[in-house]
């Protein structure tokens, strides 16, 4: 009985390993590198321009198929390519009736990207709290890091000892603002490679969002009064010279909000059908427009808004992904399921199971019949080999390989 059980476990182990590595090597051979188009908006012609890389050649088209070379594209997107245009003396003096100067262009140009894998990334819960009003030109990294558990704690980097005085000071400040310990989420930009510091946005255990930073050694703690009903999945906070908004809030329902400098007022980004687990979020801003794109493996949805976040134009494009190409269709016939150790939409190694659909049932039935004749050839009755047939029926080609490799069944009674 023990030998029989060991053999079954051996078969299952082979199925497990095969379901990971067979599809992996299949896609190493047949997967195509699909280059996703990038969508921009030209404030010169008020039209979308899409960059495409074919082979080693980059070209640009509008939605009507008109092609532009690189020089033409740069002239049509002067705010995005102002450095290049300045270097060749082709930056226009004005645009849309407004004069252009380098300082205004630089301050108003913003870019941001949030990918699905960032959503489940869990940073180490120790964060540097920079002095935001040091009087120095350059921000300096502190000698301690903080964490927010049942209180606000500062841990010295050298001695690993808690700074009680500083910890008590910040704990009291948060308690005075009715902060509910511990913190559920801490979001900020923990670097001194920035022009100024805005600290962190911290979600407490009652889903109240607080703004916390250090000003001249003293705690700055404000309840933003952003509705606790928001099901916040992720926050992207980044200090920008424009000082229009602190960052972005992403909810689990696929809503995106800007946290404005206007008393933390939320500005909703007018995106639709955003899947935070499957789509990349891209944002490009300039003096006149904001461009937001949702990009997945098979499509891109882009909207352009004015500076008041009213939709000006929309663009949508889709293409065939690897799963829709011939190699993808063949894989669903070959493999009833796949098991991967990583996923492009996650930053964690794990077991990612994917069922391929019912297409593989035909090959699976054929392999069950072949397995039956293999057992007959080995002079093994169905009574003894029925487990092998069940394994092949449930796992298709993976089980078939396991049955081929593990032959000794007649001695397992």
| Averaged pLDDT in 10-residue chunks for the chain of 413 residues | 76 92 92 87 95 81 91 95 94 93 94 90 91 88 95 94 95 96 96 94 96 95 95 95 95 96 96 93 96 95 96 94 88 92 78 88 93 86 84 93 78 45
- Distance between CA 292 and CA 303 in Å, rounded? 5
- Distance between CA 55 and CA 62 in Å, rounded? 20
CB 116 within 8 A of CB 277: yes
- Distance between CA 43 and CA 289 in Å, rounded? 8
Q: Please name the residues in contact with 217: beta carbons below 8 A apart, sequence gap of 6 or more.
A: 131
CA of 88: how far to CAs of 11, 74, 84, in Å?
68, 11, 7
Beta strands in 343-397 (DSSP E): 352-355
User: How much is the pLDDT for 1?
Assistant: 59
Nearest CA-CA partner of 198 in 185, 212, 208: 212
How many CB atoms within 10 Å of residue 239? Answer: 19
User: How much is the pLDDT for 412?
Assistant: 45
User: How much is the pLDDT for 81?
Assistant: 95
User: How much is the pLDDT for 2?
Assistant: 58
- For the chain, give the number of residues: 413
Grouping H, G, I as helix, E, B as strand and the rest as coil, residue 136 is coil
Grouping H, G, I as helix, E, B as strand and the rest as coil, residue 266 is strand
Provide the angle, in degrees to the nearest 10, between the axes of the packed helices 382-395 and 397-405. 140
162 is written with which tokens? 């808690």
Nearest CA-CA partner of 303 in 268, 345, 260: 268
């Amino acid at each position: 009985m023990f030998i029989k059980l060991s053999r079954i476990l051996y078969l299952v182990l082979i199925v497990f390993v095969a379901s990971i590595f067979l599809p992996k090597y299949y896609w190493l051979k047949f997967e195509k590198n699909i280059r996703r188009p990038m969508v921009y908006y030209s404030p010169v012609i008020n039209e979308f321009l899409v960059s495409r890389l074919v082979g080693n050649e980059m070209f640009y088209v509008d939605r009507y198929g008109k092609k532009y070379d690189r020089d033409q594209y740069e002239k049509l997107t002067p705010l995005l390519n102002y450095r290049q245009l300045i270097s060749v003396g082709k930056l226009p003096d004005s645009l849309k009736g407004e004069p252009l100067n380098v300082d205004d262009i630089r301050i108003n140009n913003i870019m941001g990207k949030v990918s699905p894998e960032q959503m489940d990334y869990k940073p180490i819960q120790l964060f540097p709290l920079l002095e935001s009003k040091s009087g120095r030109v350059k921000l300096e990294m502190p000698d301690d890091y903080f964490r927010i558990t049942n209180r606000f704690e500062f841990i010295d980097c050298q001695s690993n000892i808690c700074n009680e005085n500083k910890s008590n000071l910040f704990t009291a400040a948060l308690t005075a603002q009715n902060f509910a310990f511990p913190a559920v989420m801490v979001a900020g930009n923990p670097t001194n490679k920035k022009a100024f510091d805005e600290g962190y946005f911290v979600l407490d255990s009652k889903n109240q969002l607080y703004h916390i930073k250090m000003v001249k050694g003293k705690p700055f703690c404000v309840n933003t009064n952003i509705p606790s009903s928001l099901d916040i999945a992720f926050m992207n906070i980044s200090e920008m010279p424009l000082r229009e908004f602190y960052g972005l809030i992403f909810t689990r329902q696929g809503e995106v909000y800007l946290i404005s400098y206007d008393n933390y007022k939320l500005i909703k980004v007018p995106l639709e059908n955003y899947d935070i687990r499957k789509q990349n979020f891209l944002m490009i801003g300039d003096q006149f427009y904001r461009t937001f794109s949702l990009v997945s493996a098979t499509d891109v949805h882009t909207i352009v808004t004015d500076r008041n976040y009213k939709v000006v134009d929309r663009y949508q494009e889709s293409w065939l992904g690897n799963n829709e190409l011939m190699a993808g269709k063949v894989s669903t016939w070959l493999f009833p399921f796949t098991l991967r150790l990583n996923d492009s939409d996650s930053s964690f190694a794990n077991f990612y199971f994917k069922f391929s659909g019912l297409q593989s049932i035909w090959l699976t039935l054929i392999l069950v019949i072949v397995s039956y004749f293999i057992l007959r050839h080995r002079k093994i009755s169905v009574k003894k080999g029925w487990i092998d047939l069940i394994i092949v029926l449930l796992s298709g080609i993976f089980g078939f390989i396991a049955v081929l490799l593990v032959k000794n069944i007649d001695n397992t009674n």
